Amino acid sequence: MEWTGACYADKPTVEVHTWIAATPPQVWTLVSDIELMPRMSSELQSVEWLDGRSGPALGARFVGRSKHAALGEWATTSHIVEYEPPRRLAWAVEDPQHPTAIWRFTLKPENGGTLLREWMQMGPARSGLSFAIDRMPDKEQKIVFVRMREFEANMAFTLEEIRKLAESAQPADEAGA
Residue 170: predicted pLDDT? 63
pLDDT digits (tens, 9 = 90+) for 155-176: 999 999 999 999 998 654 444 4
pLDDT digits (tens, 9 = 90+) for 22-35: 999 999 999 999 99
pLDDT digits (tens, 9 = 90+) for 126-148: 888 888 899 999 999 999 999 99
Q: How far apart are CA 83 and CA 61, in angstroms?
A: 12
Secondary structure of residue 119 in the 3-state scheme: strand
In the predicted model, is pLDDT for residue 55 greater than 80?
yes
Residue 175: predicted pLDDT? 46
Of 25, 18, 84, 19, whose CA–CA distance to 57 is shortest?
84
In the predicted model, is pLDDT for residue 53 greater than 60?
yes
pLDDT digits (tens, 9 = 90+) for 83-110: 999 999 999 999 999 999 999 999 999 9
Q: Could you tell me if 8 and 129 are in contact, meaning their C-beta atoms sit under 8 angstroms apart?
A: yes
Of 146, 148, 142, 159, whose CA–CA distance to 123 is shortest?
148
Task: Specify which residues 120 forms β-bridges with.
Answer: 14, 103
pLDDT digits (tens, 9 = 90+) for 76-85: 999 999 999 9
What's the maximum distance between 2 C-alpha atoms anywhere in the chain? Answer: 56
Residue 5: predicted pLDDT? 87
Q: What is the pTM of this model?
A: 0.91
Sorted by sequence, the CB contacts under 8 Å of residue 33 that are 6+ apart come out as 55
DSSP string, 24-53: HHHHHHHHT-GGGGGGG-SSEEEEEE-TT-
